[in-house]
Amino acid sequence: MLVDKKILLEHFKKVGKKCQLEELKKTFEIKGEEELKKFHQAMKTLEYDGDLYLDEKGFYHIFDEKIPLRQGIIHINRSGAGFVNIVDNGKKISYLIEGKDLNGALPQDLVIISPRKKQFLGHQLAIVEKVLKRDNILEIFEYQGNGVFTPYEVLSNFKVKSSYVKDLVPQSLVLMDVGIEPEYIDDELYFNGEVKRVIGHRDDPKVDEKAVCLKYGFDPKFSPQIMKAVNSIPNHVLDEELEGRIDLRDKMIFTIDGKDTKDMDDAISIEKDGDDYILSVHIADVSHYLLQHPILIDEVIRRGNSAYIADSVVPMLPHKMSNGICSLNPGEDRLTKTVEMRFNKYGELVDFDIYKSVIKSCKKMNYDDVNAILEQGIIPNGYECFVMDLLEMCKLSDLLTKSRHQKGCMVLDDVELKIYTDIFGNPIKIKRCEQKTAEKLIENFMIMANMVVTENYGYLEQPFIYRVHEAPDLVKLQATLQIIKDSGVVDLDIMEQLLSKIEKLRTNHLDIKPIDLQPLLLAAKEQGNLTAISNLLLRSMKKAIYSAENIGHFGLAEEDYSHFTSPIRRAADAINHILIDFHLQMMEATTDAEVMAVQEKINQFNCLKKVCQHISEREVAAFETEKEVEEIKTLEYVAANIDDYMGPLEAQVCLANKFGMNILVDSNIRAIIDSGDLSTTGFNYMRDSHTYVRRSSQDKFKIGTRMYVFDPEVSVQHRCIYYHTPMTKDEYRDSFQEKPKKLIKSVNVKRA
């Protein structure tokens, strides 16, 4: 008898008792291998969904309030403490699991916890009873000898045994899949693991970067099958590939990127027709090569995107494509798709065309040189004949910026660092990334090209991948804005008006518009608190994702948006290029047979929902990879230059809570001041205003407050820098005559 999870759950509710598997198999007359497989899958799903609970004696129960246990995803911080957040009867409860009570849980595992009566710092304590389901991301472990492994650079008291120890020496790092069934050996708890890959020794150059990349699924190596397909692609554009393309090789087309960029997938050109601007954005036609080798399409989807770590990249496509035939290198014929847009003198889009083309870039420009021209009037050698075009582009970009601002496009400030390393992976320089005129120009032009492509192809009756961003949850946003209001960091009238508006929107079940947040962001920028406010707002915002359904993009204040301009480094863009190719083939089809052939190709992409979910997850994985490597390299840099960071250095409070304060040191380095250190220096936490107030005076530390810090402690295991001695501005003026140090300069960054 075929059963599904609905039938099984109804049976449990009806009989009202616990059951074992054998009893259930007899009841439902489960026979045959296929039936048994589906039965076990249904039972596992009910367990994972929290409908059934499997006890240690092998009985399944209805998972309800009669069972004094809870189920949820565990988050584990660098100090080894776990947190499980559960909504119980509409109320959010945060459970804290101490390291000794994790019972072998790893970050993001699905666990069963047993709440305890004790509380600590506002969290109810709990114990992990069992790991129900491992997160599918592999973890890094360090070999300790004798077949024993421990988690790498995460404080934990559990161990893993594995039979694979060939060629391993102590402190070798491996990528491991850990089972969920532990065993006791000499009264110690061990989990069984399967070594998937040996990464290297912890003292090897760049081993930490390699380990993090592999942990999140970014492998710099490609399979022999992939390389065989790539190596069959010519190194230059063939004459027969030019058929049906508009030849733009005589146009003044150029790229603008970072000095060390090698995967250039966008180029630009501009002309004037009276008062009108004719802007053309030329994008590498990666799909031309992908369609010749379907195995490459599968690889692009599997990888999802490139990962940019420190000053290197793990590419989505092999270098022969990403840096070679697909990259718009100067002086080389390259196949492209061109988005040609006509704007009037007010910067309004009045016409556009999208077509296949061939270009030959005249120059590889870099942001520093272009900014020298646009901001300082300095013309570097080799740029003389491009100055007029750049100035016209700058005028158009200013018009587009104004238009985006009027629509309500959100402009948040988030700290980005550029880390430079030597050949051994040691960080030798860190700079803060800044978006200047040239970077803004490229961002404006790429956003416009993405919008035009979406408006043109998004309404056709065929699959398409959209870049969507939901409006924030008003309850979360309201709580965040209340924190900002209570801290007094932004004008009270602005905050009261905004909170009043949100209350009305909630009452009428309406969404907030991004333009409603502009007064807050403008005020924060004027007062020098945009970084701190942005940090808080981002916590209450939903993430932008990929979707087969168009629901608009909140952050950009656009109803139609997709990704098209980076097909070398993003799967979504590459797939959209393929779908556009299919549409163009459909337009050119002259017989029913040709139409049906193209339709069959399109039908392969009719179920994009899973693809969108996967590449959205890969985007998050890339972010976590880049963030983790940045944390490691920042710690190494500060540790190697500890004398410079002893202070005094200026810092700004980004977040204050009962655990302490998150601060930004020297406008770049993220650090923490623990609540215990604040208490030692006379500060108490005031929960209502999210402020630390000194008992003996009116000194306050709150969101946006600038202070001075001394005596850092670098903790590699916690992946954090602690400062123990904060000082107010008045205290600093009374104690020091010299100005504080300024260690890290700025570098430009393109935000795609």
Rg of the chain in Å (alpha carbons): 29
- Is the confidence at residue 362, as pLDDT, over 70? yes
- What pLDDT is recorded for position 454? 96
Res. 172 pLDDT band, cuts 50 70 90: very high
Computed over every residue of the chain, the mean pLDDT equals 91
Pairing of strands 266-273, 60-62: unpaired
Pairing of strands 123-133, 91-97: parallel
- Is the confidence at residue 72, as pLDDT, over 70? yes
Query: Are the CB atoms for 361 and 254 separated by under 8 Å?
Result: yes
Write the DSSP assignment of 214-234 as a string of letters: HHTT--S---HHHHHHHHTS-
The two tokens of residue 447 are: 């956003």
pTM tops 0.85, yes or no: yes
Residues of the chain above pLDDT 70, percent: 96
- What pLDDT is recorded for position 520? 95
Average pLDDT of 525-551? 91
Taking each helix axis as running N to C, give the angle between helix 571-588 and helix 294-303, from 0 to 180 degrees, rounded to the nearest 10: 140
Cα dist. 209→54, 106, 267, 377, 438 in Å?
40, 20, 31, 40, 30
- Is the confidence at residue 727, as pLDDT, over 80? yes
Average pLDDT of 472-500? 92
Least confident of 152-156, 576-580, 593-597: 152-156
- Is the confidence at residue 173, as pLDDT, over 50? yes
* E-strand stretches of 146-235: 148-151, 159-161, 172-185, 188-201
Average pLDDT of 58-69? 88
- Is the confidence at residue 718, as pLDDT, over 80? no
Q: What are phi and psi of 215, to 5 degrees?
A: -55, -40
Taking each helix axis as running N to C, give the angle between helix 609-640 and helix 571-588, from 0 to 180 degrees, rounded to the nearest 10: 150
Measured CA to CA, the distance from residue 554 to residue 174 in angstroms comes to: 41
Measured CA to CA, the distance from residue 109 to residue 470 in angstroms comes to: 27
- Is the confidence at residue 168, as pLDDT, over 50? yes
- Is the confidence at residue 525, as pLDDT, over 60? yes
Place of tokens 């390291």: 99
- Is the confidence at residue 745, as pLDDT, over 50? no
- What pLDDT is recorded for position 751? 38
The two tokens of residue 346 are: 């007010």
Res. 597 pLDDT band, cuts 50 70 90: very high
Higher pLDDT, 163 or 158: 163
- What pLDDT is recorded for position 747? 43
- Is the confidence at residue 711, as pLDDT, over 60? yes
Half-sphere exposure of 423 (CA within 13 A, CB side): 0
- What pLDDT is recorded for position 235? 94
- What pLDDT is recorded for position 154? 63
Residue type at position 141: F
β-pair partners for 356? 337
Q: Which residue from 449, 239, 233, 251 is spatially nearest to 360, judged by alpha carbons?
A: 251
- What pLDDT is recorded for position 743? 61
Q: Which residue from 488, 349, 513, 367 is spatially nearest to 433, judged by alpha carbons?
A: 367
Cα dist. 23→41, 63, 67, 421, 631 in Å?
17, 19, 21, 62, 52
Least confident of 116-125, 321-330, 717-726: 116-125
Average pLDDT of 633-653? 90
* pLDDT tens-digit map of 284-302: 999 999 999 999 999 999 9
Least confident of 35-49, 115-129, 426-440, 599-613: 115-129
Res. 269 pLDDT band, cuts 50 70 90: very high
Measured CA to CA, the distance from residue 700 to residue 689 in angstroms comes to: 11
- What pLDDT is recorded for position 749? 40
Helices (H), 458-543: 474-487, 492-507, 518-526, 530-540
- What pLDDT is recorded for position 742? 62
Measured CA to CA, the distance from residue 159 to residue 144 in angstroms comes to: 10
Residue type at position 219: D
Res. 752 pLDDT band, cuts 50 70 90: very low
Q: For the chain, what's the residue count?
A: 752
DSSP single-letter state for residue 676: H
Q: What are phi and psi of 193, to 5 degrees?
A: -125, 155
- What pLDDT is recorded for position 744? 52
Cα dist. 744→338, 638, 750 in Å?
39, 11, 19
C-alpha 730 chain-centroid distance: 39
Query: Are the CB atoms for 283 and 266 separated by under 8 Å?
Result: yes
The two tokens of residue 698 are: 């009116």
The two tokens of residue 694 are: 């000194």
- Is the confidence at residue 316, as pLDDT, over 90? yes
Residues whose CB falls within 8 Å of the CB of residue 234, separated by 6 or more in sequence, listed in order: 325
Q: Check the CA dihedral 45-50-51-56 and report its sign.
A: positive
The two tokens of residue 504 are: 């009305």
The two tokens of residue 37 are: 């497989």
- Is the confidence at residue 746, as pLDDT, over 50? no
H or E segment and range at residue 241? none
* pLDDT tens-digit map of 426-462: 999 988 888 899 999 999 999 999 999 999 998 887 8
Q: How many H-runs (helices) and E-runs (strands) does the chain carry?
A: 20, 34
Average pLDDT of 385-412? 96
Pairing of strands 91-97, 649-657: unpaired
- What pLDDT is recorded for position 417? 86
Measured CA to CA, the distance from residue 266 to residue 445 in angstroms comes to: 10
* pLDDT tens-digit map of 687-704: 888 899 998 888 899 999
Cα dist. 347→275, 387, 392 in Å?
10, 20, 12
Q: What are phi and psi of 394, to 5 degrees?
A: -65, -40
- Is the confidence at residue 231, as pLDDT, over 70? yes
Q: Which residue from 412, 116, 380 is spatially nearest to 259, judged by alpha carbons?
A: 380
Least confident of 368-382, 443-457, 649-663: 649-663
